[in-house]
Amino acid sequence: MDYKAVNAARTYVSRAIEKAETTTGKKLEKLVADLQIRVDTLVAAEAEIKPETREKLEKLGITIQATTPAADETKAPVAE
């Protein structure tokens, strides 16, 4: 994933969180769905999400799944 996609997702998330405070109904549902996509993008890129932002996202019902290390990263080092 390139840095442009990560930056775009970060920008969208920060602006949408503010917008969600004044949005209701179907528009809020769509906003939350779009936010979930952007958050998933950030998680996939292993980008840091500040604790304050995580808290706000969780209040909106956004799930933030922690990434698990790749299989190679979990293996014990091989002695030579």
The pLDDT tens digits for 14-40 are 999 999 999 999 999 999 999 999 999
The DSSP output letter for 39 is H
Round to whole Å and give the CA distance between 12 and 72. 33
From residue 79, alpha-carbon distances to 72, 76 in Å are 15, 9
Q: What was the pLDDT predicted at 58?
A: 95
Q: What was the pLDDT predicted at 25?
A: 95
This prediction has a pTM of 0.77
Q: In the chain, what is the greatest distance between 2 CA atoms, to the nearest angstrom?
A: 61
Structure tokens at 72: 């190679």
